[in-house]
Chains A and B, each alone.
Chain A
């Protein structure tokens, strides 16, 4: 992997990342990223890029965005000390509570930002893709908020296993379109949304949900999610008395992780991204793209992907639909290659156990995606006793009840027993 970056280049690239110089003009994070899209979509991407350049850092746009984050999303989200978990782990554990944001996950930070941008660009309608349904729900809500019609592409398999979120999207006014092509999950939904965008690139805004895909999406989504890391930084100093020794986030496409990590890159903090280890290390048994993948081009970006020797992208497995993706954001590929962030995998079983432990110790039902971060944090705490940890609690687990119901609750000595 590191062979993609010349010796000595890693430090300069990392410094460029810290200084906010990446992506470069071609949408590259070192060797990763870029824009591999059909010619039919080139004008649409150029229009989007120009729109991002014009509006994203415009003071008026930012004022509007910040007001929506404050008054509608409910930011800043809390930083919660976890005393009972800390005692168990022998560490000082802090949780950044994105589960408390409107619609229940960090996804809304990006969705409302892009919906405001879509409005400014004067499009007629918005399309989005979704896997677990969290980004679909966030997009439906954000589009209702700004007054734009929204259609959400969702794999037929995911529609089946995420029925409550499908109903939420529809109630929020979105049209949910079942994707019957490909693997009928998130990857197919992205392909289908791109196919739809091609038919009317000027009238449609494609509201992509993660820090993946062709430039400028990885940049745009990072900018909108970085509020997580900026708030965490301030809150840690204020509430915990200093920055953490290590920070953890789960990684599927990687939007919550880049949002947490990006503002912390220049600090002396160990950063650890946790992918879905699924049921094993074989191809198809997990979604641990950075831990087990190889570089290639998927859905517009040169990044780490799960593929076979012929360059065919492989299906993934994870207990959490939100991490079930064969690619990953290109900036994570760079952060891995430079050694700044370490990426590890947590298994389905360990994630379930972590979810249960957090319920028991802190009264927080976290998302199955987020549970993966706790697995790695716990292991790190064991090896580094007495240290201060920050965990990105990216979403709440209410949506996972249909899955969780299949696993019996461990008896914990209830008061009535």
Chain B
């Protein structure tokens, strides 16, 4: 099928529709996901297509929603939870971290928790500090959780179907700014799955290896197009899942480029992206470095409300261009 340039919302909705059709045990639950179609319109018409039993509106209680989903998953269902803003996962932390992530392991593998938690993440919508965070690093630090950060509509559909198949909890962090943007790749109409834990080499270039997650993948691509004109060629690697993390393409690329830059929206301090640096410098890959590792991440501040400050608080295309140029020019 050609010319299916969907937005990420549409691609995610297609994935959920396929799962609802494929498996009777799949159902979706969350706030305003039914009649209203979701805070960001992701579930859309699914309520009307699959009915209120399978697309369930819930009261405003994240703790209750995730608790319900954990119980359902333990009893043979495959719930997909939607959390309106990833910031509200804080309300459900005990259910996510102490229950969902642990149960499979604490009963010696005898039980599974096939639960997917989708959450709208990131800044750029003018929603200020309590509705704009990038909290993926929290979850990546909890063994027992897989953490997915889709970077495009095509990726989102394939990764969500793989996440729904997974026998244990998967946190699915969707960047709000990607919801309404049409992708550059066609999204196949039918089912396809992108395995969790396999990084994608988005593009290859000889000068600099960039590892970027979520929305930063498209920003790095835009920067790379500009840098191409200057003769600076980037390799871009999208880990897709930050836990588990597939580093092999990064190591392979560093043998060719010798320079590493990491980019994330989440704050720099204690951020997930630092793990990529740590893995490089504690491995044989260290010996291939011909430049200090460059790091671009959000400022260590709550996301501001003022639009200019909100933009300034996280890496933008220009920041990426500037930093990449600096690393390549200074370290030959």
Q: Is B truly associated with A?
A: no
